[in-house]
A and B are shown apart, each in its own frame.
Chain A
């Protein structure tokens, strides 16, 4: 009994490390540590345990222990990773293509946390176009990059029906959080909030439509003001 639990523990160690390895390369050394421990004990996944000793006087030999150990663990798919692309309107600097990547972890059926990184490009302000003078920003300063860390909630989970015979799981979700935007030569503290719609093509792949507002303070054109930068995007994600 004791040795069986030890085997389960070791298996847990190696499989969990494998997941961390995918997510955080920093944990690679943990993985190697687990692998080393496993080899040390000589307890591979494929290895069966010797049959339990039969106590004196016991007539029926219990043979239930061996078959459960080899059974696989259950695949848990709480992470969602994907890419998105769309249009971002940078206040005073026009609209341009935005693209980025997003990683989410579903904590419960309702709540999830997510991190995103995105990039867009600011154009010319109306002032720059009309005056024809020197540009306010250099080319590199017009590149907008942001990251944010959000908490989301699936407020309206449900099903979408395509025709009479097909039903797909969907969810309308809200997401809000904070991060930083690098634009016009400075990093700017940024609050973002928005809503999105997740359409699951199957149990692993989902399509997203997202709308976000990114708010940051900017004093480039004289007085400091809060700029609203609206973003609309389409995305594809994969659960793992």
Chain B
């Protein structure tokens, strides 16, 4: 018995080759098609299994279909942009085909192709995450970038860098925190977080009094990670900070942020 073979093709960027093509296209007077053709001979070839394959003029739904390739004909895959593939037919015609049609093509061996696509499972199992959030930090505006590493699907370590832009003072904050997700397999996954860091504040130049300060902070918080599409996450969170000032009283600051992130 022969079982059906499904091969997963991974998308990568071969920047050096692309640079080579770009330089060729700019420096020489050749048309871009000629430049691409020079780098040919290395593309993956598949054959059309649908009654026909539609080639669009651009990588998007709205671009018109200008060419069709019949069932059984071979096509070369040149590159991918979002969910569209640039392909070349046997007669040299190049056009863009969407992913759902590309998945109904066959490899030379007759096996089907499944293009690697991040999904909800990858969201749960992701190891690295990077993102940008912005919001309110005790009445001031805050812009943050973060990077996270997942120890396991539930627990991850995150490093944050933030710029705080207020009416009376500006500042920077760096912090490290642990997050815990109780249900990492949910599309909307709530998490709790605990961390510590350093905050540096400097009064605005138009205010004469006040001096620069650097204090330690600790924080606790909660939020949601929402799987949007591909490698894209939406994220919203609340954190409550305690700033350990050198004065008698500690300061408490509440922070609300929303933003987006990518996972790898």
A178 at the binding interface (Cβ < 8 Å) = yes
Interface residues contributed by chain A, number (CB under 8 Å): 60
Contacts A74-B77, A239-B81: A159 and B63 contacting too (C-beta < 8 A)?
yes
Q: Count residues of B near A (Cβ-Cβ below 8 Å).
A: 67
Chain A residue contacts of B211, Cβ below 8 A: none
Contacts of A56 in B (CB 8 A): none
Kindly list chain A residues whose C-beta atoms are within 8 Å of the C-beta of B264: 16, 20
Name the CB-closest residue of B to A181.
B165
Q: Is the CB of B22 within 8 A of A238?
A: yes
Q: In the complex, which residues of chain A have a beta carbon less than 8 angstroms from the beta carbon of B57?
A: 159, 167, 169
Asked if A77 and B81 sit within 8 Å, CB to CB, the answer is yes
Give the docked Cα–Cα distance between A28 and B206 (Å). 43
A76 in contact with B11 (CB, 8 Å)? yes
B18–A74 touching, CB < 8 Å:
no
In the bound complex, how far is the Cα of B18 from the Cα of A19, in angstroms? 13
For the complex, give the distance between the alpha carbons of A164 and B184 in Å: 55
Q: Which residue of A lies closest to B43 (CB)?
A: A72
Q: A11-B10, A159-B57 are in contact. Are A76 and B44 (CB under 8 A)?
A: no
**CB-defined contacts of B19 to chain A, threshold 8 Å:** 240
B134 within 8 A of A: yes
B205 to chain A, nearest CB (A): 4
Task: Report the Cα distance A12→B7, complex, angstroms.
Answer: 13
Q: Which residue of A lies closest to B77 (CB)?
A: A74
Which residue of A has the minimal Cβ distance to B163? Answer: A180
**Residue A78 interfacial (CB < 8 Å):** yes
Complex contact A22–B15 (CB within 8 A): yes
Interface pair A109/B59, CB less than 8 Å apart:
yes
User: Is the CB–CB distance between B109 and A180 below 8 Å?
Assistant: no
B121 at the interface (CB under 8 A from A): no
Is B205 a contact of A108 with CB atoms below 8 Å? no
Interface-located stretch among A45-53, A121-129, A186-194, A226-234:
A186-194
Expressed in whole angstroms, the Cα–Cα distance for A149 and B162 within the complex equals 13
Q: Are A157 and B18 in contact (CB under 8 A)?
A: no
Instruction: Mark A145-168 against chain B: 1 for CB-CB distance below 8 A, else 0.
Output: 000010100100111000000010
Q: With A75-B78, A109-B83 as known contacts, state yes or no: A179 contacts B143, CB within 8 Å.
A: yes
Q: A169 to B13, Cβ gap below 8 A?
A: no
Is A83 interfacial (CB 8 A cutoff)? no
Q: Tell me if B72 counts as interface (CB < 8 A to partner A).
A: no
Instruction: Report B-chain residues with C-beta under 8 Å of the C-beta of A8.
Output: 8, 10
List the A residue with the shortest CB-CB distance to B84: A109
Decide if B249 is an interface residue (CB 8 Å cutoff).
no
Are the CB atoms of B108 and A67 closer together than 8 Å? yes
Residues of B close to A71: CB separation below 8 A = 44
Q: Looking at B13, B58, B167, B230, which has the most chain A CB atoms within 10 Å of its CB? A: B13
A157 x B60 contact (CB < 8 A): yes
In the bound complex, residues from chain B placing their C-beta under 8 Å from that of A134 are: none
Instruction: Kindly provide the distance from the CB of A169 to the nearest chain B CB, expressed in whole angstroms.
Output: 4
**How many Å lie between the Cα of A8 and that of B114 in the bound state?**
14
Check A67/B42 contact, CB under 8 A, given A107-B82, A202-B25: no
6 sample A-B contacts, Cβ–Cβ < 8 Å, listed by A number: A67-B109, A75-B11, A157-B63, A189-B143, A202-B25, A240-B13
Q: Which residues of A contact B (CB under 8 A)?
A: 8, 11-12, 15-16, 18-20, 22, 24, 26, 62, 64-65, 67-68, 71-79, 105-109, 113, 149, 151, 154, 157-159, 167, 169, 178-180, 184-189, 201-205, 217, 219-220, 224, 238-240
The 5 closest A-B pairs by CB, nearest first: A202-B32, A76-B11, A189-B165, A64-B109, A189-B141
